[in-house]
Amino acid sequence: MPALTLSTDIGQSDFITGAIKGQLITAVPSANIIDITHQLSPTNYQQAAYICSNAFKYFPPQTFHIVIINFFEREPQKMLLAEHNKQYIICPDNGILTMITGTKPGNIFSINRNANDKSTLLHYTACIANAIEKMFRGENSSAIMTPITNIEEKYPMRSTSGPDWIESQIIFIDNFENVVVNLTKDEFEELRQNRKFKIVLMRNSEFIEKISDHYASVQPGENLAWFNSAGYLEIAINKGNMAGLFGLQGYSETNAALQNRLPYQTIRILFS
């Protein structure tokens, strides 16, 4: 049974997500359609890339991942289909592809579309459903898509660092207001070099000075830091709300210019 996933910024209250699923199941009746999320932020590509990349890697080969984010920031010129890690990612040509993959995939195609078609989201997703159907039937790909090399490329921000510090961007805040930053365990240990550290909270007035194995490593109400199941640094309060208490907010390119007027979007780590 083929697997198709949906990741969008549409939300749960609109009919559109149901209509897209109807298009897909009509095109490929045997498909298993899985929702990753419909709560992506249209302006926070870091967040979208974190969610999608860490979910996609658990799916089997030949899975189709449809990503709809910030679709009409401008009139979509191309709908991309790319092969990556033996799976397929379908998305608009707005930079989200390389944000998710972290590199430019070797095989990228533009899904063919009649230029006279209406420019509504459901007309674009109908073209996507048609392309997937024909691929499952083994039809000649040249009839449904065109190889391309020129796409919009954006890449995830990396933590910045100096001799005795790291500054990382907040890329995700979950429903419990636990905060994930763009720093992996390997990156942390490479920069730490076995030194003591302090994760700075609230204008240098409060710190976390150890890495925990899990939430139960500390008492309820205590701060903790650990490397989560995706391998990224997560800071939290056991049975508390880290983001709300410390005024933390997910990093966004759109509001980065207003950072001085916003809650903190970065986390600083000091070494000694």
Domain boundaries of the chain, sorted by first residue: 3-147, 160-271
Domains 3-147 and 160-271 alike in fold: no
Per-residue confidence (pLDDT) for residue 260, from 0 to 100: 41
pLDDT per position as a tens digit, 75-86: 777 899 999 999
Per-residue confidence (pLDDT) for residue 257, from 0 to 100: 45
Per-residue confidence (pLDDT) for residue 73, from 0 to 100: 80
| 16-27 and 121-136 helices, crossing angle to 10° | 20
pLDDT per position as a tens digit, 113-166: 876 667 889 999 999 999 999 998 888 777 889 999 999 999 998 999 999 999
Strands (E), 2-86: 3-8, 32-37, 64-68, 79-84
Per-residue confidence (pLDDT) for residue 140, from 0 to 100: 79
DSSP annotation of 143? G
CATH T-level assignment (fold) for domain 3-147:
Rossmann fold (3.40.50)
Partners of 234 in the beta sheet? 180, 226
Architecture of the domain whose range is 160-271: Beta Barrel (2.40)
pLDDT per position as a tens digit, 5-41: 999 999 989 999 999 999 999 999 999 999 999 999 9
Quickly tell me which residue has 């809650």 as its tokens: 263
In one-letter notation, the amino acid at residue 12 is: Q
To the nearest whole percent, how much of the chain has pLDDT over 90?
72
Per-residue confidence (pLDDT) for residue 262, from 0 to 100: 39
In the predicted model, what is the mean pLDDT of the chain?
90
Identify whether the C-beta of residue 146 lies closer than 8 Å to the C-beta of residue 80.
no
To the nearest whole percent, how much of the chain has pLDDT over 70?
92
Per-residue confidence (pLDDT) for residue 265, from 0 to 100: 83
DSSP annotation of 23? H
Check whether 87 has a pLDDT greater than 70.
yes
Confidence of residue 237 (pLDDT cuts 50, 70, 90): very high
Per-residue confidence (pLDDT) for residue 203, from 0 to 100: 60
Check whether 212 has a pLDDT greater than 60.
yes
Check whether 259 has a pLDDT greater than 50.
no
Q: How far apart are CA 176 and CA 249, in angstroms?
A: 13
Identify whether the C-beta of residue 81 lies closer than 8 Å to the C-beta of residue 88.
yes
Instruction: Kindly report which listed range (123-132, 151-160, 195-204, 223-232) carries the lowest average pLDDT score.
Output: 195-204
